[in-house]
């Protein structure tokens, strides 16, 4: 895909449609509800704790959706992999370089896991608006039932 990634309609609505371009018609917008951990995924304690924390934050922002639970779980599983790899590496830099049986030095495989997990988290975080730059483009929704007379706010508030 060339050019900038399109901003999802619900995020454009939260932002007040700052671009003032017409909103797409017929776009499916999932209901704002607390995502649940997908039953088909393993019960990873670190990932599930992060999932619960982020699901509550997304629901507070008005951006929670059950349809997003898979991607949110993928982010949280990458977070858990990162936590496990960092714990295995520890603070001792001597664990970061391993010696092969033939006497050569090579980086610990945990360094690759840290790098991959961090990159996966960054990519997913951009989609959810978790990064500082993405957060500047998203405004929170008014409280449930509160409106300021704006028809978009009234629709989004339910």
- pTM, whole model, 2 decimals? 0.69
Distance between CA atoms of residues 36 and 153, nearest Å? 26
> What are the tens digits of pLDDT across the range 108-155?
999 999 999 999 999 998 888 777 666 666 555 455 444 455 555 555
Distance between CA atoms of residues 135 and 116, nearest Å? 23
> What are the tens digits of pLDDT across the range 13-47?
777 888 888 877 776 666 777 888 999 998 999 99
Measured CA distances, 18 to 22, 40, 79, 122, 136 (Å): 11, 39, 32, 25, 12
**pLDDT at 144 (0 to 100):** 44
Domain ranges of the chain: 9-17+27-157
> What are the tens digits of pLDDT across the range 57-95?
888 877 778 888 899 999 999 999 999 999 999 988 888
**pLDDT at 158 (0 to 100):** 52
């Amino acid at each position: 895909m060339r050019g900038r990634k399109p901003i999802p309609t619900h995020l454009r609505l939260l932002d007040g449609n700052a671009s003032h371009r017409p909103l797409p018609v017929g776009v499916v917008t999932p209901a704002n509800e607390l995502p649940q951990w997908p039953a088909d995924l393993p019960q990873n304690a670190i990932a599930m704790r992060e999932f619960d924390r982020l699901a509550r934050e997304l629901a507070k922002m008005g951006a929670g959706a059950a349809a997003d639970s898979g991607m949110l779980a993928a982010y949280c599983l990458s977070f858990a992999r990162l936590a496990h790899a960092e714990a295995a590496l520890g603070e001792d830099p001597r664990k970061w370089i391993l010696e092969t049986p033939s006497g050569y030095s090579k980086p610990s495989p945990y360094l690759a896991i840290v790098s991959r997990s961090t990159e996966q988290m960054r990519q997913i975080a951009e989609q959810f608006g978790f990064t500082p730059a993405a957060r500047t483009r998203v405004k929170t929704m008014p409280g449930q039932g509160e409106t300021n007379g704006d028809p978009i706010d009234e629709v989004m508030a339910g």
